[in-house]
Amino acid sequence: MDPSSYGTYLVTQQSISAGRSTIAVVEDATAGGVDVVQLREKETETRRRYEVGLELRELTAEAGVDLIVNDRVDVAQAIDADGVHVGQSDLPVAVIRELLGSDAVIGCSTSTVDEAREAEAAGADYLGVGAVYGTFSKDVADDEDGIGLERIAAIVDAVSIPVVGIGGITADNAGPVVEAGATGVAVISEITAADDPRAATERLAETVETAKDVEDGSVGNE
């Protein structure tokens, strides 16, 4: 799948999945219409991460959903994932491109216009930009209230690859992120910690689609 179709993006984290397995959450999210799943199990040992990854590969392939691995090129190769997502402290994008080749999807986390331009020049296929809003799911060096929508818009203007907002995003506040020009939104807790992850995914996907229509000018400007 082309990252320009990454509207609703689930990042996994078993430790905030209300006692459910990551596999169960991903089953629900694929049923709810997620476009892409990132295996991000930092607290899980490599062997287990690999085993979960293999199951997710089967599940996502059947559902036509992309599978991205957080940080680890070796795990991505071992499970035949679609790509890897790295941040500013991980392996450089250009090195990952050398290792994985031109077909792999490479995502890179950025929070400033300079980082975004650099990631694009290095060969990233999409950017994860945030934290947009305050989040409890990750310690972020930036402002604890998040970088905000103006920064999202500035980064969207500065690059020509898709931008996915991340950090503190819910179905209630995702619309403005897409209206600021993001292709989509990535979430952990909005789906993983929901009472009903499938319904939460459906709500989020619906919000993203509606906001895209507003952004395209197909509604709201009559």
Ligand X SMILES: Cc1ncsc1CCOP(=O)(O)O
Indicate if 138 belongs to the active site: yes
168 binds, among ligand X, ligand LCLJCK34, Mg ion, none (CB under 5 to 8 A by kind): ligand X
| 152 annotated ligand binder | no
Indicate if 72 belongs to the active site: no
| 79 annotated ligand binder | no
Site string for ligand X, 6-25 (x = CB under 6 A): -----x--------------
Among the listed residues 30, 109, 135, 137, the single contact to ligand LCLJCK34 using CB under 6 A: 109
CB 200 within 8 A of CB 207: no
38 binds, among ligand X, Mg ion, ligand LCLJCK34, none (CB under 5 to 8 A by kind): ligand LCLJCK34
- Does 92 bind ligand LCLJCK34 (CB under 6 A)? Our answer is no
| 135 annotated ligand binder | yes
- Does 186 bind ligand LCLJCK34 (CB under 6 A)? Our answer is yes
Q: What is the chain written as a DSSP string? A: --GGG--EEEE--GGGSTT--HHHHHHHHHHHT-SEEEE--TTS-HHHHHHHHHHHHHHHHHHT-EEEEES-HHHHHHHT-SEEEE-TTSS-HHHHHHHH-TTSEEEEEE-SHHHHHHHHHHT-SEEEEE--S--SSS--SS-TT-SHHHHHHHHHHH-SS-EEEESS--TTTHHHHHHTT-SEEEESHHHHTSSSHHHHHHHHHHHHHHHHHHHHTSSS--
Interface with ligand X in residues 117-176 (CB under 6 A): 130-131, 135, 137-138, 140, 166-169
Where do contacts with ligand LCLJCK34 occur on this chain (CB under 6 A)?
9, 11, 38, 40, 70-71, 85-87, 90, 107, 109, 128, 138, 164, 166, 186
Active site residues: 40, 109, 138
